Structure 1
Amino acid sequence: MSIKSKLNRMKKHIVTEAAAPIIENRKTLEIPNEKIWENANVRPYFLDDDYCLIREVRYKLEECHGKYSFKDFLNVVEKWQGFDGSHPLSAKGLHPSQIFFFDTETTGLGGGAGNMIFLLGYAQFNEKELILKQHLLPSPGNEIPLYYSFLENIDYTTLVTYNGKAFDWPQVKTRHTLIRDHVPKLPSFGHFDLYHAARRMWKDELESVKLSNVEKKILQFHRKGDVPGYLAPMIYFDFVERKDPEGVLKVMSHNELDILSLITLYTHLSLQILGLDHNQTSKEKWLVGKWFDYVGEEKLAVQHYQKVMHSVGEEKNLASYALALHFKKEKAFDEAVVLWNKIFQATKDQPLKIKSLIELAKVYEHYYKDYKKAISYANEAYKSLTENDHNSSEKVLIRIKRLNRKLSK
């Protein structure tokens, strides 16, 4: 980069009373297949002697992606404002425009400086519509205009990604480090990573929690004619060599669908967490309760477990066990014993049965001091263990021996 170019860029950061506007985006280069790009709503962004390509799409709030409209997202953000508690996906205190849905396409799945981002895609809401933008790297030497155009007007509080904490954003930070002297700083932000949320909710229901699977099974969105993500690097390198936009435009369409699915998935997860999904299954209610337990929101966890108590099936036993642990913690042992007794008599889940029996043995030993009953529950747990449960068997035997000694005294 020339000294003149660097000085021109520095002028943007010098504020004077009569500062004249600096025109950065002068067209100085020929864009291969520019007409095709224009027809696809893609425009060049010029910076000094380089450029990148930017595509912009706008959606009305009434439009749908899968089972929800974009307006539903605005509604769930409003619902979060009345949420009394904490949760990793809580949008309380946020305006919809502060939430930034982000996804990238890269030249490989590995990390480090050898892996390059060639497409930065994101979407933000305003009061009237959803605006989706994509910044495309026309060739490996054009990263400065790519990141400059991406960062110059960025304004958000929280990033929403799918596995972005582990992959997308570390890649952005790596590439940014290489050119940080020539582009704006990366802003700080909160982060909603929906991949971990999807795993928590549906890992047992789906063969994998790839976004495409979650789309089909959970969000009721089916892609047609989509380019598989694993082909994106090959398509990009072909584009760099031949300059034909056809293939890379399909990759941009794939990226666009990924971003729109983030909006629908966040909407759906929010309704699940807030208890506003009328089609929520008993298992999902139990899993949301476990999630609240995990983040320390015990009161909300109990509320969700109690909802599951009105259901039938194994989820009722799982929720009963979790609820009994809360009763035990609060020293409400009578209530806990009732639940554990019901579980070990009703459940088909052998590990859950054994855990309930052991908890009963503990309570009768340490709280009720009824060693006979404690031994009977411990013996029942021992009989239920399989030959493979060596560690558990030894622990239960130690308990039984200790109880026999207490009883003999």
Structure 2
Amino acid sequence: MSIKNKLNRLKGHLGTDMDNQPSPVRERENNIDVPFKEVWQAEGVYPYYFEDSYCLVREKEYSLDQMHGIFSFGQFAAAVEAWNSSGIRHPLSAAGHEPESLFFFDTETTGLGGGTGNTIFLLGQASLQGSKIKLKQHILPHPGAEIPLYKSFLESIDYSTMVTYNGKAFDWPQVKTRHTLLRKHIPKLPPFGHFDLYHAARRMWKHKLERVKLAAVEKGVLGVERKDDIPGFLAPMIYFDFVERKNPEGMLGIIQHNEIDILSLISLYTHLSFQILQLDEKQTPREVYEVGRWLSALGESSQAKTAFNKISEGESAEAVDARFALAFEHKKHKNWDEAAKLWKDIAEKGLVNMKVISCIELAKIYEHRIKDIGQATMYAKKALCMLEENSGGGTEKIKIKQEELHRRIVRLERKFN
């Protein structure tokens, strides 16, 4: 920072008549040389000046009719409305929010590690504003321009909820780290909610995707095809080359990569919302099952049962899994007859582990609820037999389960006699 600018910042505390004199800062800012300025302008990028430095900003708009993969941007607003019409409590619920309250956020950095040695050189965001999706990207022209970078970014975010992909673990902690170093010169970080879609995507599609990186989810789930995309791992090298040579050619590719990332977050949030709310007519049985499991874990038992019931007919793997899960939902509500009926079915048709668990649960029901010690003993012995036949030497966990069953059988036989 120049001496003049330092004095200008302190003038309110100096007690001189500098207050009555015009600041020379703006005049000097406009004279800052921006290398390749015409090239940047042709790409919709303009300089944001602050004191004796600047960052670069790119803005772009998209109509709500525009498709990104299998969804239009207008369907995002429909997803938020669906959450507001639903009584489901969920970590991704937008209930109580307007579509304009959410912003989609992604960064590009000089490395994948944490700490002060990692620099963010691109902050990208998008949100619904009126009848458009508006994208705004803040670009660091060189490492010494972080103050204008974060000032331009923080002036732009006035939302209640941020949406990221692995942002809780990476992007936002990186922003907090850099902000800590600059906090005397830039606005405070605003508080807001955070929807991290990475964990949701992993829960929903790890059965079909080898990896759940955003690019894999785009291709395998959202129908987004990237063309001539720069791989993310090349971004730091391209940025360092840009800092050295100033030529924006490579950076434009990174900016495009970041743009697609952010737009994909909009489509992914839309898709996950329709999946969780069970509004997707093309939802696969496996997706329905995963939604049911998620809702069950959250205590949304009624909605979980609705999901499991949808796919519980037949002998497919998903149907058997759904009946098994449904039995536990009935157990939660002490519907012992319904639970026992389902577990009896699983004890004959499920995988070995499911059969064992079903028999143990049936032994418990017959002992404690129906008071039929003979049936309880029979199911306990059946579970132990299956466990011994399939243990193959077994792990410590299996040995413990065998010992528990032995004790259960001994106790039941004492009762029976």
Q: TM-score, normalised by structure 1?
A: 0.94
Q: 1:185 to 1:401 in 2, by over 3 A?
A: same
Show the 5 A alignment for 1:88-237.
88-237=91-240
Describe the SS at the equivalent of 1:81: helix
1:407 aligns with 2:416: yes
Partners of 1:58 and 1:235 in 2: how far apart? 26
C-alpha displacement at 1:11, in angstroms?
9.4
* Aligned partner letter, 2:353: P
C-alpha displacement at 1:32, in angstroms?
0.9
Partners of 1:168 and 1:119 in 2: how far apart? 11
Contact 1:163-1:194 within 8 A present in 2 as well: yes
C-alpha displacement at 1:216, in angstroms?
0.8
C-alpha displacement at 1:295, in angstroms?
1.6
C-alpha displacement at 1:8, in angstroms?
5.2
Describe the SS at the equivalent of 1:124: strand
Describe the SS at the equivalent of 1:184: coil
Describe the SS at the equivalent of 2:81: helix
Partners of 1:187 and 1:10 in 2: how far apart? 26
* Aligned partner letter, 1:181: K
Pick the aligned partner of 2:250 from 235, 247, 251: 247
1:82 aligns with 2:85: yes
1:281 aligns with 2:288: no
* Aligned partner letter, 2:199: H
C-alpha displacement at 1:330, in angstroms?
2.1
Name the counterpart of 1:356.
358
Q: 1:362 to 1:6 in 2, by over 3 A?
A: farther
C-alpha displacement at 1:4, in angstroms?
4.9
Contact 2:2-2:52 within 8 A present in 1 as well: no
1:384 aligns with 2:386: yes
Q: 1:158 to 1:351 in 2, by over 3 A?
A: same
Question: What are the superposed Cα offsets for residues 324-363 of structure 1, whole Å, 9 maximum, x if unpaired?
Answer: 122222222111110101112122x221111111101111
Pick the aligned partner of 1:368 from 367, 370, 378: 370
Question: What are the superposed Cα offsets for residues 101-133 of structure 1, whole Å, 9 maximum, x if unpaired?
Answer: 000000000001111100000101112111111
C-alpha displacement at 1:65, in angstroms?
0.6
C-alpha displacement at 1:166, in angstroms?
0.4
Partners of 2:190 and 2:278 in 1: how far apart? 33
Contact 1:67-1:219 within 8 A present in 2 as well: yes
Name the counterpart of 2:404.
395
Question: What are the superposed Cα offsets for residues 67-94 of structure 1, whole Å, 9 maximum, x if unpaired?
Answer: 0010111111111110112111111111
Partners of 2:6 and 2:211 in 1: how far apart? 48
Contact 2:327-2:340 within 8 A present in 1 as well: yes
Name the counterpart of 1:5.
5
Partners of 2:268 and 2:10 in 1: how far apart? 41
Contact 1:361-1:377 within 8 A present in 2 as well: yes
Contact 1:282-1:311 within 8 A present in 2 as well: no
Name the counterpart of 2:16.
none
* Aligned partner letter, 2:232: G
Describe the SS at the equivalent of 1:43: strand
Pick the aligned partner of 2:348 from 339, 345, 363: 345
1:62 aligns with 2:92: no
Name the counterpart of 1:29.
32
RMSD over aligned Cα, in angstroms? 2.1
* Aligned partner letter, 2:91: P
- Figure out how many residues of one structure are paired with residues of the other and give that number: 401
Contact 2:61-2:134 within 8 A present in 1 as well: yes
C-alpha displacement at 1:10, in angstroms?
8.2
Contact 2:57-2:136 within 8 A present in 1 as well: yes
Contact 2:347-2:358 within 8 A present in 1 as well: yes
C-alpha displacement at 1:312, in angstroms?
4.5
Partners of 1:6 and 1:403 in 2: how far apart? 84
Q: TM-score, normalised by structure 2?
A: 0.92
Partners of 2:99 and 2:7 in 1: how far apart? 38
Partners of 2:62 and 2:88 in 1: how far apart? 32
Segments of structure 2 that go 5 or more residues without pairing to the other structure are: 13-21
* Deviation larger for 391-400 or 1-10: 1-10
1:267 aligns with 2:279: no
Describe the SS at the equivalent of 2:85: coil
Describe the SS at the equivalent of 2:381: helix
* Deviation larger for 221-230 or 321-330: 321-330
